[in-house]
C-alpha cells in the first residue's frame, strides 16, 4: 500500500467513526402522544364553583 | 436531544427544555411531555347552545373545561387570556379524568365539552377523559379550530360525539396572516370528522374588512356544502374587538344577515347568527316545509317541536343528535 492510499483509507475510516458516533446525538425523537408531567409549573388552586356559566367564549 | 411533536401540522422541532408553539408540550431530556394534563384553568356548566351547538341535545347543560394553550395565535382571539397564556404564569386546579367524569355525572350533565382554548393541544387529557366518559354514558363535544394531523385526529374521534369547528376563513392568506396556521389541515379535519359519523357544526367568525366580503362568504359556504353536505349547521358569529384587534368595529347585524342569506341561497339548510341578537338567525326551521322547529332566545330554548328528530309537520328527518 502506498502512503497516499494509506492516508485515504485512514481518512475514510475516521469519517465513518465520526459520523457513527455523532449519529445518535443528531437523531430527533418523534412523538404524537406526550407523557404527563406530574408537577404543574404554574400555581395550583382548589376547584371553584362550577355551576356558574363560563365567562369565556365557547 | 431534539424532539418532534407530530400532533399538529406545525410539527414543532423542540429543543431541550423548550416548548412547542402551543406552549404546553415540552421537551424534557428527549421526551415530549404534556404540562397541562389534568390542570384545568376553567370548568363551568354551560348551556350547550353557548358552544355554539344547536343540533345536539338542545336545552341541556354541558360540563365545559379547558387548560391553557393553543396551537393557533389568532389576532382576534376572544379568550386570549387563557389560550395564549404560559402554563407557568397561570392558575389551575387538578382534575384527573376520573374526577371530571364523576363531576359531570354528579351534576347531571349528559355531555362534556373540551372548549374555551384548544382541546387538541391537551390531546392526551381530552383522549383519556373522552374514553372514560364514553364508558360512563356521557357524550363528548369538542369546540376546536381543528388544527391537527389526521392520525391522532382519527384516534380521538372514536370517542367524540359532536364538534363545533371554527372555520376561520376560506383563504390560506387569512389563516397565515391572522391565525399563524394553514387552511388545508382544518378542511381535512372537518371532512374526516364528518366521514367518521361525528355530528359536525361549523362556526365562522365574521370580521369586518378581513373575511366579510360576500364572495369570500359564498366560497366558504360552497366549500361546506360540497364537502360536508347541505345539512351541516353553519353559525356566522359576530366579531367583538379583542386582543390584537381592538381597532376594528364589531360585526354589524346587517353583515351577518347578508352572510346568512348567501348561505341559504346556496342551499345550506341550517344557518345561524351568533354573538348578535337576531330573531330568525337563532331558530331552527324545517328545510322541507319551512315551519319553525326550535325557537331560541339567546341560549334558552323557548320551544322544541321536534318529534324523534323529525319535523312534526312534514316528517323530514332533521340532522343532529336529539336524544
pLDDT tens-digit profile of B242-257?
999 999 999 999 999 9
Backbone angles phi, psi at B206, to 5 degrees: -90, 115
| Chain B interface, best mutation among A31, A39, A48, A51, by max B CB count within 10 A | A31
Q: In this structure, is residue B301 part of a structural domain?
A: no
- Residue contact A40–B6, C-beta within 8 A: no
* Residue in chain A nearest B145 by alpha carbon: A58
Q: In this structure, is residue B18 part of a structural domain?
A: no
- Residue contact B82–A41, C-beta within 8 A: no
Interface size, chain A vs chain B, as Cβ–Cβ contacts under 8 Å: 136
Q: In this structure, is residue B144 part of a structural domain?
A: yes
* Residues B18-69: tens digit of each pLDDT: 999 999 999 999 999 999 999 999 999 999 999 999 999 999 999 999 999 9
Residue A21: pLDDT band with limits 50, 70, 90: confident
Which residues 6+ apart lie within 8 Å of B270 measured at CB? B54, B55, B231, B232, B233, B234, B284, B287, B319
Boundaries of domain holding B138:
36-283
Residue A24 has pLDDT above 70, yes or no: no
Q: Given CB atoms, is B1 within the 8 Å cutoff of chain A?
A: yes
Q: In this structure, is residue B222 part of a structural domain?
A: yes
Residue B190 has pLDDT above 80, yes or no: yes
* Residues B108-127: tens digit of each pLDDT: 999 999 999 999 999 999 99
- Would you state the pLDDT for residue A23? 67
* Residue in chain A nearest B151 by alpha carbon: A32
Residue B293 has pLDDT above 70, yes or no: yes
Residues of B in contact with A39 (CB under 8 A): none
ipTM greater than 0.85: yes
Average pLDDT across chain B, whole number: 98
- All three cell numbers of B113, joined, read 365539552
Q: In this structure, is residue B288 part of a structural domain?
A: no
Give, as one character, the DSSP assignment of residue A51: T
Q: In this structure, is residue B224 part of a structural domain?
A: yes
Domains held by chain B: number: 1
- Would you state the pLDDT for residue A26? 65
Alpha-carbon gap, residue B55 to B33, rounded angstroms:
36
Q: Given CB atoms, is A30 within the 8 Å cutoff of chain B?
A: yes
- All three cell numbers of B141, joined, read 363535544
Residue A25 has pLDDT above 70, yes or no: no
> B182: domain CATH number?
3.20.20.70
Hunting for cell 401540522 — which residue is that? B9
Q: In this structure, is residue B22 part of a structural domain?
A: no
Amino acid at each position: 500500500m502506498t502512503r497516499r492510499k494509506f492516508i485515504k483509507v485512514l481518512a475514510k475510516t475516521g469519517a465513518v467513526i465520526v459520523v457513527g458516533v455523532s449519529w445518535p446525538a443528531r437523531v430527533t425523537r418523534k412523538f404524537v402522544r406526550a407523557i404527563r408531567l406530574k408537577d404543574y409549573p404554574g400555581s395550583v388552586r382548589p376547584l371553584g364553583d362550577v355551576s356558574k356559566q363560563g365567562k369565556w367564549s365557547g | 436531544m431534539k424532539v418532534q411533536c407530530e400532533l399538529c401540522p406545525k410539527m414543532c422541532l423542540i429543543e431541550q427544555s423548550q416548548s412547542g408553539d402551543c406552549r404546553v408540550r415540552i421537551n424534557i431530556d428527549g421526551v415530549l411531555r404534556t404540562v397541562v394534563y389534568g390542570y384545568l384553568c376553567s370548568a363551568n356548566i354551560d348551556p350547550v347552545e353557548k358552544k355554539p351547538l344547536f343540533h345536539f341535545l338542545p336545552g341541556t347543560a354541558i360540563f365545559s373545561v379547558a387548560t391553557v394553550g393553543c396551537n393557533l395565535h389568532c389576532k382576534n382571539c376572544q379568550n386570549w387570556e387563557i389560550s395564549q397564556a404560559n402554563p407557568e404564569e397561570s392558575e389551575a386546579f387538578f382534575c384527573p379524568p376520573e374526577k371530571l367524569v364523576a363531576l359531570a355525572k354528579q351534576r347531571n350533565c349528559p355531555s362534556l365539552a373540551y372548549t374555551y382554548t384548544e382541546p387538541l393541544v391537551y390531546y392526551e387529557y381530552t383522549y383519556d377523559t373522552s374514553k372514560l366518559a364514553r364508558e360512563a354514558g356521557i357524550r363528548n363535544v369538542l369546540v376546536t379550530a381543528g388544527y391537527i394531523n389526521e392520525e391522532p385526529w382519527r384516534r380521538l374521534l372514536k370517542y367524540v360525539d359532536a364538534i363545533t369547528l371554527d372555520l376561520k376563513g376560506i383563504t390560506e392568506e387569512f389563516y397565515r396572516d391572522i391565525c399563524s396556521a394553514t387552511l388545508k389541515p382544518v378542511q381535512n379535519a372537518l371532512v374526516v370528522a364528518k366521514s367518521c359519523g361525528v355530528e359536525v357544526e361549523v362556526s365562522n367568525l365574521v370580521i369586518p374588512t378581513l373575511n366579510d366580503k360576500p364572495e369570500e362568504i359564498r366560497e366558504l359556504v360552497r366549500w361546506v356544502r360540497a364537502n360536508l353536505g347541505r345539512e351541516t349547521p353553519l353559525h356566522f358569529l359576530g366579531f367583538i374587538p379583542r386582543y390584537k384587534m381592538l381597532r376594528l368595529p364589531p360585526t354589524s347585524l346587517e353583515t351577518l344577515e347578508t352572510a346568512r342569506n348567501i348561505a341559504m341561497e346556496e342551499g345550506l339548510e341550517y344557518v345561524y347568527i351568533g354573538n348578535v341578537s337576531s330573531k330568525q338567525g337563532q331558530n331552527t326551521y324545517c328545510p322541507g316545509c319551512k315551519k319553525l322547529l326550535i325557537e331560541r332566545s339567546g341560549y334558552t330554548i323557548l320551544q322544541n317541536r321536534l318529534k324523534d328528530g323529525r319535523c312534526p309537520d312534514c316528517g323530514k328527518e332533521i340532522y343532529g343528535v336529539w336524544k
